[in-house]
Amino acid sequence: MRLKTSVALSAIFAVALSGCSALPSEGPQSKQIEKAYLEKNTAGFALVNVDRNVASYLARHDVQSFGDRFGKGKPARGELIGPGDILSVTIWEADNTGVFASTSTADRGNIPDIEVSGKGTITIPYAGSIRAAGRTTQSLEAAITKALEAKAVEPQVHVARKEKVASMVTVTGSVGKAGLYPLSLRGDTVVDVIAGSGGASSPPYETVVNITRRGEIASSYLDHVLETPSDNIYLRPGDQISVERRPRTYSAFGAVERKGVVEFGVSDLNLMEAVGKTSGLSDIRADASGVFLFRFEKRAVAERFASEPVNVSGDIVPVIYRLNLKDPNQYFFAQSIAMRDRDVIYVADASTVSLQKFLGLLGSALSPPSAAIRTVNSANAL
C-alpha cells in the first residue's frame, strides 16, 4: 500500500513539476524574457545587458530643451510698438488756423485709441498710412512729424501707448496669479515671467512648463530650466506659458516589496534609489540577476547597444535594460542610471519560486486525504 502511494505521489510530483510554468505569476522569469527576445519578439523590443558603456549613456538626462526648440534668443524689447497695440496721438502746430488747430467744439489735434493693424500700420489724418510696428514711440513721433511737414505748420507730435497688447505674454495654470503680463524694457526670460506671476504653486521638480510660440509647443520641467541657463530662454511677444503640476513617476512590479506607481519626490533619481523607494527586492522571491528597466528609446540607441537586430519600425522603439545585481559592479552602474518619467522597473522571480508555489499547493491538496487516512487507521485499530 505504501509502495503504491509513493509511486502515485512521485508521478503526480513529476507531472506537476513539468507544469510549474503554468502556476500564477506576476510576470516572466529572466530566462523567459530572454527567450521571448530571441524567439517570439512580437513587440520588437531590444534587450540590452548593462555594462560600463551602457551605464555611461544612461547617466545622461534626456529632457526636451527649450533652447533646442526655440533657441536662447535675445531680449524682446518691450518698448517696441506692435500689432494690436492701442495708441494715443496728439498733434500741435504753430498756426492756430492749421489743420490740427483746436476749436471750441473739437480738439482736432487729439487722436485717441488708434489700434495698430495686423500689418503693423496706423492711419493719421493728412499723413496717411504710417508703419508703427517695430518702432519706439519716439521713432513713430518723428515719422508722423515728417509726413505732416508739407501739410501742417511746424507740427509737433506726441505718441503714447495706452494698451501694450503686442508685448504681452500669457501665463496660465498653477501660478500665483494667471493673466497677461507685459514684457519689460530689458526683456524677460521664462523664469522672470513665472516669478512675476507669483511663482509656481508646486516644487520645481513637479512643475511642467509648456511654451506655445507660433503654433509650436515645447515642454520642460521647471527644475531643469532653473539648472540650465540655455533653456531659460527669452520670451517673445505673444508667447503662451502654461504651468502645471505633474509629478514624475515610475512603476515597479514583480519581486519588490512595494509595487505600483511611485513618485520621484526629488529632482534627480537613479535606478538604485528607485529600487530603494520600493523597499528593495523581496528576499524570498527576487532573482537579483534579473532586474529590468523598461523604457522607450531612440532607434539609434537600441541599435547601438542591442545584441540582435531591431525588428520594429519607427524612430522610437521599446528597450529593456537588464542588470545582474548578484555582480557587485552592477550596483555602481545602477547608481549612475538616471530614471526618467514613466519608466518601469520589473524584478523577476527566482526559478525556485514556482517550485515553492507548487509544493505549497501540493501540501494543501494532500492534507484532506491524509486526515482521512488517519481517521480510517484509527477506526481499524479499534
Q: How confident is the model at residue 285 (pLDDT cuts 50, 70, 90)?
A: confident
Is this structure's pTM higher than 0.75?
Answer: no
Torsion angle, CA of 184/190/196/202, rounded to 10 degrees? 180
Cα–Cα distances (Å) from 207 to 156, 170, 173, 350, 358, in that order, read 51, 17, 10, 39, 48
Say if residues 322 and 291 touch (Cβ distance below 8 Å). yes
Q: How far apart are CA 124 and CA 108, in angstroms?
A: 12
Least confident of 96-105, 154-163, 197-206: 96-105
Strands 179-182 and 168-173: antiparallel
Task: Tell me the average pLDDT across 30-40.
Answer: 89
Other beta carbons within 10 Å of 69: 16
CB 180 within 8 A of CB 168: yes
pLDDT 10s digits, 209-246: 999 998 999 999 999 999 999 999 999 888 999 999 99
Q: Is 285 left (phi over 0), alpha (psi -120 to 50) or beta?
A: alpha
Give the N- to C-terminal CA distance of the chain in Å, as an integer.
20
The answer to whether the beta carbons of residues 237 and 216 sit under 8 Å apart is no
Q: Which residue has the cell 518601469?
A: 344
Rounded percentage of the chain residues whose pLDDT exceeds 70: 81
Q: What does the alpha-carbon distance between residue 165 and residue 161 come to, in Å, rounded to a whole number?
A: 9
Given this model, what pLDDT does residue 108 score? Answer: 62
- Of 10-24, 59-73, 83-97, 123-137, the poorest mean pLDDT is in 10-24
pLDDT of residue 367: 54
pLDDT value of residue 93: 81
Q: Residue 5's pLDDT is what?
A: 45
What is the maximal distance between C-alpha atoms in the chain? 140
Give the Cα separation of 382 and 380 in Å (integer): 5
Distance CA 232, CA 209 (A): 11
- Report the 10 Å Cβ neighbour count for 128: 10
- Alpha-carbon 62 to chain mean position: 10
Q: What is the pLDDT of residues 253-266, one digit of tens each?
A: 999 999 999 999 99
For residue 349, pLDDT over 80 is answered with yes
Confidence band of 194 (pLDDT split at 50, 70, 90)? very high
Q: What domains sit in the chain, N to C, each tagged with a CATH number?
A: 25-61+268-353 (3.10.560.10), 71-77+167-245 (3.10.560.10), 86-163 (3.30.1950.10)
In a 10 Å sphere around its CB, with 0-12 CB exposed, 13-18 middle and 19+ buried, how is residue 201 labelled? middle
